[in-house]
Structure 1
Amino acid sequence: MAEEHPKTSELPEDVETDDCMTSYTYIYSPDLLKDKVAIITGGGSGIGFRIAEVFMRHGCDTVIGSRNLERLTEASKKLIAATGRRCLAVALDVRQPETISAAVEEALKEFGRIDILINNAAGNFLCPATSLSFNAFKTVMEIDTMGTFNASKVVYERWFKDHGGSIVNISATLGYKGQALQVHAGSAKAANDAMTRHLAVEWGPSGVRVNTLAPGPISGTEGYRRLGGLSAETSGVFQTIPLQRAGNKTEMAHGVLFLASRASSYVTGACLVADGGSWLTSANNLTMLLDYWSAGLKRDK
C-alpha cells in the first residue's frame, strides 16, 4: 500500500460541496463548546457552513443567517441530521441592523443565550479598479465592513455587554501587499482587521474577545471559484505557496474553533493567518489576472 504524501496525510476531512462530512476526527475535546450558542453570518454555505458543522460536532447549538432563507433551511436540516445539535435558520441582511436585531431576538428566544458571533458574510469578485463601479465598491464595503460592525454592535449591546462572549471576524490577506483586481475586498478586509483591534480594546473589559481569521485560497467555496482558484490549481500556481496546495474548509473551521473557544482564552485583538504561507510568496501576476477576468466577461455574454 502506497504511503500518503506528507503534504496531505494529516489534513482534516472535508467535502467540496455544502454538505456535512461523512466522518470527522476530533483534534479538540468533543465537548469544547458544549451547550454554547453561536451566531454565524453567511452560515448556509462555504466556510460558514463548515464552521457551523464543526461547532455543532463540538457540542454547540448554532444560528445561521443570510438573505437566502431557503438555502439556510436546507443547510440547517443537513447540520441537525449530521450532528444531533440544534440549528436555527434566520433570514438577515448584515447591511440592515434591524434584521440582525430581529435575528438576535429570535436566537435568544430559542436558546436563551449567545456565546459566539462569527462574522463570515462577505461579497467578492475579481475586477480591476478602472472597471469597478462606485456602487460595486460601496456594496462590498457595506457587506464586509459595515456588516461586520453592524452584527458586532447589535450582539454586543443586546447580550455580550452584560454576559461576555467571543467574536471572530473572517478576513483575508488581500490588503497585506496590495492584491491586483481586489481593491474593493482588500480595502474592506483591511478595515475589518483594524476594527478587530479597536473592538478588542473597547470591549475587553466586558469579557468580550475579538479576533480575526484570515484564510488563503480555500477549495470548495464560492470565493475559490470566483477568484480563479480552479484555474490556479490546474496551471500549477499553487506550487508557489509554501505548503503547495489550497486549504480546505475544515482547516478554517478548526482555526475559528480555536479563536472562539476557551482554547484561546487570553487571545484578543489577534489575526490568525491560515493561508499556507500564500501571501508571503504568491506572485501578484497582473497580466494573468486580467486575462482571467476578461475571459470571464466573454463567458458571461
Structure 2
Amino acid sequence: MAALRSLTTCGARYLKLSILKPVVATLCQPLSTDAEFGNSAFQPKTTPMLPPGTFSNKTAFITGGGTGLGKSVASSLAFLGANVLLISRREEVLKQTCDELRKVTRSQIDYAVADIRDVDAVREALNICSTRFGLPNLIVNNAAGNLLCPSERLSPDAFSSVIDIVLKGTGIVTLEVAKALIKAKQSGTFLCVSTVYAQTGSAFVMPSAAAKAGVETMVKSLAAEWGKYHLRLNAVAPGPIYTEDAFSRLDPTGQFTKELGKRIPAGRLGLMEEFANLACYLLSDYSSWINGEVVRFDGGETPAIAGEFNILTRLLKDNDWDSIALLAKSTSKST
C-alpha cells in the first residue's frame, strides 16, 4: 500500500483503462504483411505449444497467480495437466481466477491467501498445497511490486515495499519450498519472473530494477548450489507485455505505451500467452538441461536501444544508403 500511495506523491493520476486499450490493441498487432517477405516472422501464436498432459501428476505453486502473467501461466499449466495452487494477498481476485480456470480445465485448482513477505504465511500456503495436492514440483515466483517515480522522491516505505516484495518475498518462497523438497527428497523446477531492465538499469523504477537484479543473481547462485538436490532454477526477463494491473500503475496516462511499439524490432508488444508458452517450456522436462539461465523475452527491444547506431533504422530508408555510399566514395577520393 505504501508503494501505491507514493504514486500520488509523485503526481501520477490513475486514468480509466479504456484510454489505454485502443492503443494496446494496436501495438499488440504484428507487423504489417509485406509481399516481399510473406507472413511476418513476428506473427504471434497464442495456443499452448506443449502437448496435452505435459504436466500430468505435477503441482504448480504460483505467487501473484490471480492476475496478469501469473494468471496466464496458471491457465496454461492447468490446461497441460498440472494441479495449481494460486497465492496472492487478494482473496476476491483469487476466487474469481479459480472459478474461471475450473470452467475451462479438468485440473484441480485452489488458492491460498498469503503475503510472501511473511514467512509464516508462506509456510501456511505451502502446507495448504501439500495437504491438497502434495509438495509442488513447479514453483513460479511471479508476485511483484513496482511504481514509477523519480528516485529522489521515493519515500523509505515505498523503497522498502518494492524490495521486500520482489527480493525478500521471492527469496522466502524459494527457500521455504526448496527446504521442504530437499527434506522430502523430491525434485522441483523454479521459475522467477524478472524484467529486462534488471540487466540494464532504468530510470524511475530503481527499486524494482535493483530487486529484480538480486532475484536473477539468486537464481544463478542457487542453480549452482542445488543441482545436487535435483532442483532447477531459471528466470525470464520479459520486456513490455501488456497487463491491465501493471500498466494502470506504470503508465496511467497512456503516453509511454504509445511509444513502446516504435522501438521494438518485432513491431509490437508481447502477449501474455506467448510468455506463458515460454514459462511452460522452462518448467517442463523438455528444458531439463537449462539451469541458472535468465531468458530475455522482449522482441529485440534491449539490443535495439543499446546499439549506438540503431537509431538509423528509424531515420534512414533503404534507398538512403545508396546516397550515403556515393557520398562516402566521393569523400574518400578527395582525401
User: Which TM-score applies when normalising by structure 1?
Assistant: 0.85
Q: Give the 5 Å matches for 1:1-301.
A: 5=33, 6-7=39-40, 10-13=43-46, 25-161=47-183, 162-228=185-251, 230-234=254-258, 236-282=259-305
- Secondary structure of the equivalent of 2:217? helix
Deviation at 1:138, TM superposition (A): 1.0
CA distance in 2, matches of 1:226, 1:48: 17
Which segments of structure 1 move beyond 6 Å, counting only runs of 4 or more?
none
- Secondary structure of the equivalent of 2:198? coil
Deviation at 1:191, TM superposition (A): 0.4
CA distance in 1, matches of 2:40, 2:96: 34
Deviation at 1:8, TM superposition (A): 8.1
8 Å contact kept, 1:47–1:221: no
Deviation at 1:160, TM superposition (A): 4.5
CA distance in 1, matches of 2:170, 2:79: 25
Deviation at 1:232, TM superposition (A): 3.0
Deviation at 1:223, TM superposition (A): 1.9
User: Which TM-score applies when normalising by structure 2?
Assistant: 0.76
Which residue is equivalent to 1:21? none
Q: Could you tell me which amino acid in structure 2 is paired with residue 250 of structure 1? A: E
Provide the identity percentage: 30
8 Å contact kept, 1:46–1:222: yes
Q: Could you tell me which amino acid in structure 2 is paired with residue 149 of structure 1? A: G
8 Å contact kept, 1:125–1:223: no
CA distance in 2, matches of 1:206, 1:9: 39
Structure with bigger RCO (C-alpha 8 Å, 6+ apart): 2
Deviation at 1:7, TM superposition (A): 4.3
CA distance in 1, matches of 2:293, 2:157: 31
Backbone CA RMSD of aligned residues: 1.8
CA distance in 1, matches of 2:234, 2:127: 24
Runs of 5+ consecutive residues of structure 2 not aligned to the other structure: 1-30, 34-38, 307-335
Q: Could you tell me which amino acid in structure 2 is paired with residue 171 of structure 1? A: S
Deviation at 1:114, TM superposition (A): 1.3
Q: How many corresponding residue pairs?
A: 269
Q: Could you tell me which amino acid in structure 2 is paired with residue 12 of structure 1? A: K
8 Å contact kept, 2:68–2:244: yes
Runs of 5+ consecutive residues of structure 1 not aligned to the other structure: 14-24, 284-301
